[in-house]
Structures are given as C-alpha cells and as structure tokens.
C-alpha cells in the first residue's frame, strides 16, 4: 500500500486520505497556482502509527523517493551545507482543527546549513532567525519542552539588546539565542539538538502523528463532534521565507467576510514574519488592504487567485500565503469556517450568482446555525457608551463576569466572559466554558476568532485600547476604567463594542421576522432576515416531512402557527392540571367515593374544555394531537418527606390537621420506587375511573362547539405508554363510547382519529398488532430512549453521562440525537410492521428528537409523516426537513 502522495497526485475530494490541508494543496497545485512543491503522508499512515506504535515499515523508503524528487525539483538538498533546502512538516486532518496539532517550520537547519543558508540568501540575520525558530518549534512540539522556556530566553535577549520585539534582534543576538536554545534542549532532554536533517524530518512526522491524541485535540474533537479515529495527514513542503527582509511577509485571508458574509477581501498581513506569527499575535498585523500599498503586484496577483479559488470551490475560501522577496506563494486553502449569519447570506449570494443550485444552497446552512440566529441580541435602543471597541469576530450578545484565565473560566461555571491578551490552543477549556471571548490582540483570523466562530460563540478580538493584566486579574481601558475579575461586562460580537455592566438583550430580528413583527422595510433592510426567509421558502418547497409543534396552550399554538407548524403533534393535557387547578387534582386523588370523584371531575371538565376550545380556535383546519393524561399522580401531590415532617411537627405541637393526615396517607399509597416505570400513562387511564372519559368529553364538546361556530377542528386522541394492543383496545372502546355519547347529546358528530404513542420497546415490537386498531402512531422517543437503554433521563446528566461522553461511548447524548442503531432500529421496525398492517397509518414523532437536526434526517429517511417539536424549534425542523429532502 502507498502512504505518500506528491501534491500533484491528489485533489480536493481526498480529504479523508490526505487531510484538508493536503487536499487543498493538491488542488491548488493542479490549478497551476504558485504552491511550493511537496508531498503528503496519508492519514492511513497515522492510523497505522497510532495503533501499532511505529511507522509503517515501507514508509521510510517512500519518503526517501519523494524527498529525492523534491530535491531535484528545487535543485537543492535538504539541509545541505551549501544552499540548503528546508521544509515544513505540517499536520492536517480531514476536519480543520485550528491550532490543535503541530507544525514545524525550517526543518533541515543545523550548525552547518545555517551558514549555507546565510550565504545563499545574502542574509545572515534571516538564517539565524530561522534557526532559532526551528529549535523553538521543534523543541516544544517534537521534544515536548515547555514553550515558555524558549519565550523567556527571547524576552531576555530583547531586553538585553534594548529591542522592542523580535525584529530588532541583530544577527549576533540571534546567534546567542540559538546557543541558549541548544542549551535548553541539552539540559531537558539529555541530548543535543539533532543535527541530521533526515532525523529531524522523521522525528517531526512522528510528533505530528502523536499530536492527534493530545489532550487539547481530544477536547476540541469532543466539542466539535469529530470522531477520534480519523487521524491526521502530514504535509512536507519546501519552505518559502516570509522573514527574508522588508519585501517579504506572510498573511491569511478570506474571500468574503466570514463574520457577516459581506463580499470583499478580508485578512491580515505581517511583514518580515514566518507563518505562525500572524495568528499567534506576536506582532499586530495590518489589514490586508494595506498590502496594496506595500506590494501592489503581489496584491493584484493575490486577489486574482482568491477570486479564482472562490469560483472554483464555489464557496468562501480561506487561504494562507507568503511573499518571499516580492514573489507570492500559496500555502493553504480550504472552504472557510463562517458564522451562522454569513452562512445564510453567502448561500443566497452564491445561489443568485448562479454558482450553486437551491439544493446546494440548502445543504450549506444548518438548523443549528438557524438556532444561533434566533438567540437574543443587545437592545439597539440602549444608551450605554462602550468602554472599548475591538474587531467583531463572531456575532451575538454575551453578558457575563470577566475572568482572566481559562482554568478559572472552566471552573467558575455560570456566565463568564473569558478575557485574554490573545488565546492559544491551551485556552480551549475556557473558551468552551465561556459565554463570550474578548482579546486585546489579533484580527479576524486570530486563534480566538477562528475557534469562537467555529463554536458559534460571541467574540471580540483586538480591542487594543485595553490593557489586560492577567496577573492582577483586571483590565484597564484607555480612559482608566478598571474591570476586575468577577465584574460583569457585556460584549457585542456584531459591532465589536465592549461595555461595563449588563446590557439588556432583545429578541433577534430573525425571531421578530418569524413572529411577524417586522414591517416590509425592516425586513428589506436586514440581509440576514432576507436570506433566512428565502431559505425557509426553499425548505418548505422541498420538504416531504410535516413539521408539527408541541404546544399545550392557545398561546403556544398561536406561536407555533406563526412559526410555520403544520399542526400540533403533542398537546400535553397534564399541564392543564397545574397551577391553581392543582387542588382539584388533589381532591380527585383523595376522593373516597364514586360520588366525590364524579363531583371533582365535573369541576375539571369545563376547565379542560375551555383550554381545548382555545387551542382548536388557533389551529383551525390543522390537526391537534392530544395526549391523554400521562404522568404519575404523585407529581400533583406534595413531596412525601416534606409532608411527613410537617405532619410530625404538627402532631408534636398537638395540632393535628385532618386534611394533611389524609393527604399524607394518599401520598404514601401512591409512592413508588420507580415512578417513571409505575402507575402512569395508559395504566392511569385504565385504573382511575372517569378520568379519561372526562378528558375525551372535554375534547369532543370543545370540537363540537368549534364546529357549531363554523370552524374545522381536527382533534386526534393519543393514548400514552401502551405496551401492547390490549391496553389500547380497552382505551379505544372507552374513547369511542364517550365520543358517541357527546354526538348524541350535541347532535354534532366529532370525527377524531384515535391512535397511540409508541414509547416502550414492547409496543415497537408488537406494532403490527397495535396498528390494526390504531389510526396513528407517534414515537415518544424520550421514553423510548430511556426504556431501551434502561437509564433514567432525569438522573443521567449529573451522574455517569459525563464519563460516558469522555470515554467516547457516545459522541452525543442519546437524549439529544436519536441513537439510530438501537432506538432507531425499534422505530424502523414499528414503522415497517405498523404500515404492513395498516397502509395509511399516520406516523410522527413527538420526543425532543423531533427538533434535533440529525434526527430529523433519520426520520425523513425512514418515511415518517411528520416530526413535532417545541414552537421555537419549528423553523429549525422545517429547514432540516427541507435539507433532508434535497
Ligand atoms: P495550522 O494548521 O496551525 O495553520 P500550518 O501547517 O498551516 O498550521 O502552518 C503554520 C504556519 O506556517 C502557517 O501560517 C503556514 O502558512 C506556515 N507555513 C507552513 N509551511 C510553510 C512553508 N513551507 N513555507 C512557509 N511557511 C509555511
Ligand atoms: Mg494553516
Ligand atoms: Mg412518554
């Protein structure tokens, strides 16, 4: 098997094998762009190395052969004493993991070749600068030496030479730095810095492979849901030098603004610098536009290439480039990460430009991105004056207490804003924990900006008026305002403004649009709202799945309808028993005679009836699936322990309250060890006489009233938690009897579908028998997940789930995204066998999964008729249903 591929042997679709970086370099090479030559060691070699603990035996010979070709092409030899070729060794996995893994530049330098490089380029300073970079990078990434030790030496040298930064160090100073660096290597590793170029190369390749499994890379993958078994590729590439004098430099750029999606050229450029300097925030880069003045020829060439790449990839590209003495080199390209707003806007732009079709446009936005756009924003009417302004790197409104290091941010919990001079990959846990990120250095392409955008977190970078003092745990503004750790600040990732204190937030314009609260002008003015509204139209045109809402009140029903629901898929009637109606339920439970019970039920009837009238009115003409009472009755009673204590105390005082004593008896009688597996759902309906009859009567009378008013109510009556068909048939008889009685009494026949939830494995496995009697199924995937796995949804989060996620037993909680393999199999069986027995069986899902993007795709695939989710998730499900269909 081959493990090594020259850049001209691959293409952009081989990200799996070559990694994203390798595939991009191959594609650019094939397009004839100026890419330094090189080759890619495949992810397969990485997987081999990680599983076997050694490189594939054939790899050394393959690398030898490719290195020869590279040397022939450059007319130089790796690390030769005269005019040496240097290479970079770069990591690059299928999915970009910014800064998570390692890259080593300037491989091939040693005590002899540094002299050769100086002679060949005519710049001693450059050669020694490159050598110190190599030892620094190699030392920290390959040899595992704490990077701070090298940083301290450099700082000392700058201080000793009165230098303001690395640029001011002259050749002698840099020689001194190299000597000190070599000392560090010898002291910490017990051996000299390896002088043999090929050994440097091999060690670097292994280090890149190993970096796949560093703690921070694992944390990042868990957060981004990237599988742990992909491995990384390694790219070996001839060096070009951005640190070769003032007509050299390096930069990063986007073909459009990745924060807003606005067209134009966005990026950062840094003269006299090598690679990492731009993102690391060592020196502040200048905006890319300035390159037009600095080097007009390269700027024009760069813009031409960027336009070409965008047209070729038909998408936003982000690129890395280096200019060596006026010659432009392309070092990386990939489809760029973007914010949610930018994703929607750009999909519409590319669609309108004819570069992509509607299906592709839908594929480029996600329900998660839409969810982000529905978060609240700062109230535009507020009067506060910002204490500082930075670069808006990732939009949103974040309010929280300022925290000045990542460990504290991760421990504090609650809402925090991570404030740093700049962030590095080590800050990842803090970034994950924070509501927002604020830095004083770096641009739109800095580490903080890239990571925050990827995670959809609010981020402001480069607020350079801020003096951030990590040791003292405070920041100071240009006006002398001081914010200490624990003080609240607000940051606006859309404007870049930073405020002291709390700024009120308002609903997002996208939600205002869904709510129908924007007028035509407002709508037109907001490009994001426009893009979203068009995308929703496309999604609705294409989707096969219906989208219903879970709604228990007339208000919820109204919102659901505004948000585009095709009906109500789950109306939970027990919510109608809460609040001030609770004591009626209590009375029902305490009733000792049939007469007492009937009296309470008669009191409850008009209340339920009123609720249903309200809901039917809002949902006129659309189906409303009403679930009969489901939860265990003890949920309506006081807590056993509390009540026992109360009664005991009262007794001790000699003030016995007969009511409480009676209540306590009932609570004890109903107490269950496992209430979720106890007297609830259909079981309740079957053993508490009159309860279901009352509910069905309320539904039927409400529907009759709406019919009389000229409406078209469409109730569907749903029986929860059945394990088999016998329970359902008994319920069905009672429901039909009541419907019949109401029809007799009112003279109006209400036609209601009668169906059941499928939320127990046994029901799923006997679905063929059940569907002979049921007109519809609705999967209650929360209970089905809990009973299939056998773990309690109410307890797992604080218990063993964190460990399970950590161990990779699942990547996502099965309560969030449907476990397709297990729970999904039960769902598939029930769909198949249910439909085999009743062809037109209507099938939906009403668990939380109905609004989960990846689960929606699964439900579409197995042929469900609709999903049902909370009103706010209805647009998200509509969008995902559209995406699933294209
Ligand atoms: P990352 O994935 O963290 O961006 P890269 O592998 O892209 O790491 O490399 C880090 C930096 O070094 C980038 O700015 C890149 O452009 C630069 N670089 C990589 N290889 C070379 C090379 N052969 N010549 C000059 N600069 C390089
Ligand atoms: Mg890069
Ligand atoms: Mg349930």
What's the rounded Cα separation, in Å, for the pair 371 and 510? 10
What digits encode the pLDDT tens for the residues 772-831?
999 999 999 999 999 999 988 777 766 788 788 778 788 788 988 999 999 999 999 999
> Pick from 241, 294, 238: which is nearest to 272 by CA?
241
- Sorted by sequence, the CB contacts under 8 Å of residue 820 that are 6+ apart come out as 858
Average pLDDT, the chain: 92
User: Is the residue at 787 inside a domain?
Assistant: yes
Of the listed ligands, the closest to the CA of 70 is 1
Spatial separation of the C-alpha atoms in residues 242 and 767, rounded to whole Å:
68
Residues in the chain: 886
Which residues are marked as active site?
A: 447, 846
Q: How far is the CA of 286 from the centre of ligand 1 (A)?
A: 19
Q: Encoding tokens for residue 4?
A: 């090594």
| Mutation probe of ligand 1 site: the residue of 36, 88, 333 with most atoms within 8 A of C-beta | 88
Query: Which residue has its alpha carbon closest to ligand 1 atom 17?
Result: 275
Secondary element (H or E) of residue 311: helix 296-313
CATH of the domain at 456: 3.50.30.10
CATH label of the domain that carries residue 832 = 3.20.20.60
Instruction: Write the CB contacts of 828 (distance below 8 Å, at least 6 apart in sequence).
Output: 862
User: How many angstroms does the Cα of residue 720 sit away from the middle of ligand 3?
Assistant: 7
Residue 138 sits in the same domain as residue 198: yes
**Pair (484, 588) in one structural domain:** no
Atom 14 (ligand 1): residue with closest C-alpha? 275
Q: Rounded distance, CA 544 to CA 849, Å?
A: 18
Q: How many angstroms separate the first and last alpha carbons of the chain?
A: 37
Of the candidates 285, 312, 335, which is a domain's last residue? 335
What tens digit of pLDDT does each residue of 239-293 get?
Answer: 999 999 999 999 999 999 998 899 888 999 999 999 877 766 667 789 999 999 9
Mutate which of 34, 89, 90, 328 for ligand 1? The one with the most ligand atoms within 8 Å of its CB, which is 90
Q: Is residue 115 a part of any domain in this protein?
A: yes
Distance CA 371, CA 340 (A): 9
For 491, the 3-state DSSP assignment is strand
Ligand whose nearest atom lies closest to the CA of 451: 1
- What is the DSSP code (8-state) at residue 573? G
Q: Does residue 205 lie within any of the structural domains?
A: yes
Instruction: Assess whether 198 and 258 both reside in one domain.
Output: no
Asked if residue 411 belongs to a domain, the reply is yes
Q: What are the pLDDT digits (tens) for 473-487?
A: 999 999 999 999 999
Angle at 799 between CA 797 and CA 805, to 5 degrees: 65
In the reported structure, the alpha carbon of residue 51 is separated from the centroid of ligand 2 by a whole-number distance in angstroms of 26
Pocket test for ligand 1, best of 24, 70, 105, 447 (most atoms within 8 A of CB): 105
B/e letters for 770-781, b = 16+ CB within 10 Å, e = fewer, are bbebbbbbbbbb
Report how far ligand 1's centroid is from the alpha carbon of 331 (Å): 7
Give residue 282's pLDDT.
67
Total domain count for the chain? 5
Residues 6+ apart with CB under 8 A from 375: 396, 397, 508
Per-residue confidence (pLDDT) for residue 280, from 0 to 100: 67
Does 109 have pLDDT greater than 80?
yes
The CATH number of whichever domain residue 280 belongs to comes to 3.30.470.20
Which of 594, 685, 595, 592 lies closest to 633 in space, CA to CA?
685
Residue 353 within a domain: no
CA 767 – ligand 3 centroid, Å = 17
Whether the predicted pLDDT of 579 surpasses 80: no
Mutate to test the pocket of ligand 1, among 40, 252, 332, 424 (most ligand atoms within 8 A of CB): 332
Atom of ligand 1 nearest to the CA of 86: 23
The rounded Å distance from CA 622 to ligand 3 centre is 23
The number of the ligand 1 atom at minimal distance from the alpha carbon of 320 is 16
Q: What is the mean pLDDT of residues 328-357?
A: 95
On whether both 606 and 720 belong to a single domain, the answer is yes
Q: Measuring from atom 13 of ligand 1, which residue has the nearest CA?
A: 275
Q: Are 425 and 488 found together in one domain?
A: yes
Q: Which two tokens stand for residue 268?
A: 């950062």
Examine residue 352 and state whether it is found in any structural domain, yes or no: no
For ion ligand 2, residues whose CB falls within 5 Å: 332
Question: Nearest C-alpha to atom 8 of ligand 1 is from which residue?
Answer: 103
Q: Tell me which H or E stretch contains 762.
A: helix 761-765
Looking at the structure, tell me whether residues 682 and 765 fall in a common domain: yes
Domain boundary among 209, 238, 267: 238
**ipTM of model:** 0.95
pLDDT of residue 185: 97
Q: Which ligand is nearest to the CA of 793?
A: 3
Q: How many CA atoms lie within 13 A of 322 on its CB side?
A: 20
pLDDT at 171: 95
Which of 238, 263, 293 is the last residue in one of the domains?
238
Which-ligand-closest: CA of 682? 3
DSSP 384: P
- Residue % of the chain over a pLDDT of 70: 99
Q: Which residues line ligand 1 (CB under 6 A)?
A: 36, 88, 90, 99, 103, 105, 237-240, 275-276, 320, 322, 331-332
Question: Is 368 inside any structural domain?
Answer: no
Q: What is the DSSP letter of 846?
A: -
Residue 237 CA: which ligand 1 atom is closest?
Answer: 23
Q: Are residues 644 and 720 in the same domain?
A: no
Q: List, edge to edge, every strand of the sheet that includes 87-93.
A: 4-6, 38-41, 232-238, 87-93, 103-107
Collect all residues with Cβ–Cβ distance below 8 Å to 617 and sequence separation of at least 6. Answer: 554, 706, 711
Same domain membership, residue 292 and residue 257: yes
Q: Could you tell me the distance, in angstroms and rounded to a whole number, from the CA of residue 642 to the centre of ligand 2?
A: 60
Q: What is the CATH number of the domain that holds 9?
A: 3.30.1490.20
**Cβ–Cβ contacts within 10 Å for residue 794, how many?**
10
Which residues on adjacent β-strands are paired with residue 249?
271, 323
777 and 856 housed in the same domain? yes
Site of tokens 């035996």: 57
Is position 303 within any domain? yes
Q: Whose CA is nearest to atom 6 of ligand 1?
A: 90
Does residue 730 sit in the same domain as residue 621? yes
Helix (H) or strand (E) holding 837: helix 823-837
- What domain range includes position 723? 546-632+672-885
- Note whether 655 and 606 are same-domain residues: no
Specify whether 388 is located in the same domain as 264. Answer: no
């Amino acid at each position: 098997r081959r493990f090594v591929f020259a850049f001209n042997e691959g293409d952009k679709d081989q990200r799996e094998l070559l990694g994203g970086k390798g595939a991009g370099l191959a594609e650019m090479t094939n397009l004839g762009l100026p890419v330094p030559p090189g080759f890619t060691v495949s992810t397969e070699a990485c997987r081999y190395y990680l599983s076997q603990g050694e490189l594939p035996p054939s790899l050394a010979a393959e690398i030898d052969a490719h290195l020869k070709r590279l040397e022939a092409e450059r007319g130089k030899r790796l690390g030769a004493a005269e005019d040496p070729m240097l290479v970079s060794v770069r990591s690059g996995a299928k999915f970009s993991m910014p800064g998570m893994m390692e890259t080593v530049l300037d491989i091939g330098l040693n005590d002899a070749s540094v002299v050769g490089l100086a002679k060949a380029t005519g710049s001693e300073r450059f050669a020694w600068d490159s050598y110190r970079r190599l030892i620094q990078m190699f030392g920290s990434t390959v040899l595992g030496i704490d990077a701070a030790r090298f940083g301290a030496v450099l700082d000392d040298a700058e201080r000793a030479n009165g230098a303001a930064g690395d640029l001011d160090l002259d050749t002698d100073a840099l020689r001194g730095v190299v000597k000190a660096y070599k000392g560090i290597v010898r002291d910490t590793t017990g051996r000299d810095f390896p002088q043999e170029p090929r050994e440097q190369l091999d060690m670097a390749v292994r280090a890149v492979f190993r970096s796949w499994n560093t703690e921070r890379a694992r944390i990042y993958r868990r957060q981004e849901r990237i599988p742990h078994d992909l491995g990384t590729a390694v790219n070996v590439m001839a060096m070009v030098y951005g640190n070769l004098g003032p007509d050299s430099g390096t930069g990063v750029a986007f073909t459009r603004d990745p924060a807003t999606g606005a067209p134009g050229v966005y990026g950062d450029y840094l003269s006299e610098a090598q690679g990492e300097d731009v993102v690391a925030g060592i020196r502040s880069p200048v905006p890319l536009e300035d390159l037009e003045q600095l080097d007009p020829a390269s700027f024009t060439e760069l813009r031409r290439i960027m336009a070409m790449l965008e047209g070729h990839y038909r998408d936003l590209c982000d690129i890395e480039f280096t200019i060596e003495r006026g010659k432009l080199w392309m070092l990386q390209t990939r489809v760029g990460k973007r914010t949610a707003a930018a994703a929607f806007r750009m999909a519409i732009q590319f669609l309108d430009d004819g570069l992509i079709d509607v299906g592709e446009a839908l594929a480029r936005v996600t329900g998660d991105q839409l969810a982000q756009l529905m978060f609240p924003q700062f109230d535009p009417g507020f009067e506060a004056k910002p204490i500082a302004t930075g670069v808006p790197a990732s939009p949103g409104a974040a309010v929280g207490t300022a925290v000045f290091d990542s460990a504290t941010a991760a421990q504090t919990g609650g809402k925090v804003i991570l404030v740093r001079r700049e962030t590095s990959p080590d800050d990842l846990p803090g970034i994950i924990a924070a509501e927002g990120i604020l830095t004083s250095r770096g641009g739109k392409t800095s580490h903080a900006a890239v990571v925050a955008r990827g995670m959809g977190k609010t981020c402001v970078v480069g607020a350079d008026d801020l003096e951030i003092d990590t040791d003292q745990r405070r920041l100071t503004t240009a006006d002398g305002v001081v914010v200490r750790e624990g003080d609240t600040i607000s940051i606006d990732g859309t404007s870049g403004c930073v405020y002291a204190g709390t700024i009120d937030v308002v609903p997002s314009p996208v939600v205002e649009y869904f709510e129908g609260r924007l007028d035509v002008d407002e709508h037109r003015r907001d490009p994001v709202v426009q893009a979203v509204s068009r995308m929703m139209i496309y999604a609705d045109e294409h989707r096969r799945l219906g989208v219903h809402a879970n709604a228990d009140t007339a208000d919820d029903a109204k919102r659901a309808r505004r948000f585009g629901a095709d009906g109500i898929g789950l109306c939970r009637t027990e919510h109608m028993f809460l609040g001030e109606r609770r004591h009626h339920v209590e009375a029902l439970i305490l009733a000792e005679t049939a007469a007492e019970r009937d009296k309470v039920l008669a009191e409850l009837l008009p209340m339920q009836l009123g609720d249903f009238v309200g809901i039917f009115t809002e949902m006129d003409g659309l189906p409303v699936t009403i679930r009969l009472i489901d939860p265990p009755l003890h949920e309506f009673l006081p807590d056993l322990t509390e009540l026992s204590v109360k009664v005991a105390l009262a007794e001790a005082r000699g003030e016995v309250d007969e009511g409480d004593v009676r209540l306590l008896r009932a609570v004890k009688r109903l107490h269950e060890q496992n209430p979720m597996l106890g007297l609830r759902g259909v079981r309740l309906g079957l053993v508490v006489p009159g309860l279901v009859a009352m509910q069905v009567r309320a539904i039927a009378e409400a529907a009759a009233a709406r019919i009389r008013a000229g409406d078209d109510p469409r109730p569907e009556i749903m029986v929860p938690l059945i394990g088999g068909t016998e329970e359902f048939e008994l319920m069905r008889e009672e429901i039909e009897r009541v419907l019949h009685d109401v029809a007799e009494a009112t003279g109006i026949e209400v036609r209601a579908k009668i169906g059941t939830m499928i939320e127990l494995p046994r029901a799923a496995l006997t679905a063929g028998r059940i569907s002979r009697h049921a007109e519809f199924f609705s999967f209650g995937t929360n209970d089905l997940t809990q009973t299939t796995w056998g773990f309690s949804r109410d307890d797992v989060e604080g218990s063993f789930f964190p460990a399970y996620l950590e161990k990779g037993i699942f990547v996502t909680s099965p309560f969030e995204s449907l476990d397709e393999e297990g729970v999904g199999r039960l769902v598939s069986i029930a769909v198949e066998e249910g439909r085999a027995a009743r062809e037109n069986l209507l099938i939906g899902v009403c668990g939380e999964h109905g609004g989960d993007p990846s689960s929606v795709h699964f439900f579409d695939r197995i042929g469900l008729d609709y999903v049902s989710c909370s009103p706010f998730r209805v647009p998200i499900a509509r969008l995902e249903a559209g995406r699933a269909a294209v």
